[in-house]
Chains A and B, each alone.
Chain A
Amino acid sequence: MADFRDGRPDPAYGLVVEEVTVNFGGLTALDSVSLAVEPNRIVGVIGPNGAGKTTLFNVICGFVQADRGRISYRGQPMRGHRPHDLARLGIARTLQGVGLWPGLTVLENVMAGAESSVRVDAGSALLGLRRSSRVEGDLAHEATALLQRLHIAEHAGRYPGVLPYGIQKRVSLARALMAQPSLILLDEPASGLSIAEMDDLRELLRELSRDMAVLLVEHHMDLVMSTCDHLVVLNFGRVVAAGSPEVVRSNPEVTRAYLGEEVRPGA
Chain B
Amino acid sequence: MSHFVNLSLNGISSGMIYASVALGLVLVWRATRIINFAQGSMAMFSTYMAVTLLDRNLGYWEAFAVALAVGLALGAVVERTLIRPLQGKPELNPVIVTFGLFILLEGVAGAIFGVRSRGVPAAFSQSGLTIGHHRVSFSHFDLFVLGSVLALMVLMLVLFRATDVGLRMRASAFAPEMSRLVGVRVGRVLTLGWALASLAGSLAGLLVAPRSAFSPNYMDLILVYAFTAAVVGGLESPVGALVGGLLTGLVLSFVGGYLGSSLEPLGAAVILILVLSARPEGLFSRPAARQV
Instruction: Give me the interface of A with B, judged by CB distance under 8 Å.
Output: 61, 63, 82-84, 86-88, 92-93, 95, 99-104, 108, 111-116, 118-122, 125-126, 128, 132, 136, 159, 161-162, 175, 179
Contact = CB atoms under 8 A, between A and B. Distances in A.
A198 to B, nearest CB: 21
Contacts of B158: 125-126
A115 B182 contact: yes
8 contacts: A84-B185, A99-B178, A101-B174, A103-B170, A122-B165, A125-B162, A125-B163, A159-B286
Contact of A116 (B165, B178, B183, B186): B183
A84 B186 contact: yes
Contacts of B289: 102, 159, 161-162
Contact of A132 (B163, B175, B178): B163
Nearest to B236: A103
B167 interface: yes
A119 B177 CA distance: 20
B159 interface: yes
A108 B170 CA distance: 11
Interface in B158-205: 158-159, 162-165, 167-168, 170-171, 173-175, 177-186
B111 interface: no
Contacts of B163: 120-122, 125-126, 132
Nearest to B185: A84
B168 A115 contact: yes
Q: How large is the interface on B (under 10, 10 to 19, 20 to 34, 35 or more residues)?
A: 20 to 34
Contact of B181 (A92, A101, A136): A92
B164 A119 contact: yes
Contacts, number: 92
A84 B174 contact: no
B221 interface: no
Contacts of A84: 180-181, 183-186
Contact of B183 (A87, A99, A111, A161): A87
Q: Which of B170, B183, B186, B288 has the most CB of A within 10 A?
A: B183
Contacts of A175: 182
B240 to A, nearest CB: 13
Nearest to B164: A120
A56 B174 CA distance: 25
A29 to B, nearest CB: 18
B122 interface: no
A257 B192 CA distance: 49
Given A126-B162, A132-B163, 20 more contacts: A82-B180, A83-B177, A84-B186, A88-B183, A95-B177, A99-B175, A102-B174, A113-B182, A115-B171, A115-B183, A118-B164, A119-B164, A122-B165, A125-B162, A125-B163, A126-B163, A159-B289, A161-B288, A161-B289, A162-B289
A125 to B, nearest CB: 4
Contacts of A118: 164
**The 6 residue pairs across chains A and B that have the minimum distance between CB atoms:** A116-B183, A87-B183, A161-B289, A83-B180, A99-B178, A125-B163
